C-alpha cells in the first residue's frame, strides 16, 4: 500500500513539474503573413531570406510557426504546415498590393509577423 502511494505521489509530482516547465518555457507561436504582390526578384529574395530565418528558428524549436498565410490581390493561401524556404523562393509574385486586405489580415492576426517587399 505504501509503495502505491509513493508511486502515485511521484507520478503526480512528475506531471506537475512537466506542466510547469512547459508553461514557463513555452516557445512563442506566431502566424506569418507573406504579401505575394508583385515585386522585383531582388526584393522578393529579401522576403525569402527573412522567412528562412523564421523557418530555421522553427526547425530549432525556438519559435513555432502556427500558420503561414500568403496573400495578394488575387487571393490568399493558408498553410498550417510551414512551407520550406525553397518552395517560397520558387513562387512567383503577382497582382497589386492591397492595403485593405493587409489591414484586415493584421486585424485578424494581431500578433502576426508580416513579410513584404519594400514599398
- Residue 24 backbone phi and psi in degrees, to 5: -75, -30
Question: From the CA atom positions of the chain, what is the Rg in Å?
Answer: 21
- Residue 85 backbone phi and psi in degrees, to 5: -55, -35
pLDDT tens readout for residues 67-95: 999 998 888 899 989 999 999 999 988 88
pTM above 0.85, yes or no: no
Q: How far is 1 from 20, CA to CA, in rounded Å?
A: 29
> Which residue's C-alpha cell is 493558408?
78
Return the domain boundaries, the chain: 28-115
Strand residues in the chain grouped as ranges (E): 29-35, 64-72, 75-79, 113-115
pLDDT tens readout for residues 48-71: 999 999 999 999 988 999 999 999
Amino acid at each position: 500500500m505504501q509503495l502505491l502511494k509513493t508511486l502515485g505521489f511521484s507520478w503526480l509530482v512528475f506531471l506537475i513539474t512537466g506542466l510547469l516547465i512547459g508553461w514557463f518555457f513555452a516557445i512563442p507561436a506566431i502566424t506569418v503573413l507573406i504579401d505575394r504582390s508583385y515585386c522585383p526578384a531582388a526584393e522578393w529574395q529579401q522576403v525569402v531570406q527573412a522567412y528562412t530565418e523564421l523557418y530555421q528558428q522553427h526547425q530549432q524549436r525556438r519559435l513555432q510557426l502556427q500558420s503561414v498565410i500568403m496573400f495578394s490581390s488575387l487571393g490568399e493561401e493558408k498553410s498550417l504546415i510551414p512551407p520550406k524556404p525553397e518552395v517560397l523562393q520558387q513562387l512567383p509574385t503577382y497582382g497589386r498590393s492591397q492595403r485593405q486586405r493587409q489591414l484586415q489580415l493584421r486585424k485578424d492576426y494581431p500578433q502576426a509577423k508580416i513579410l513584404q517587399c519594400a514599398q
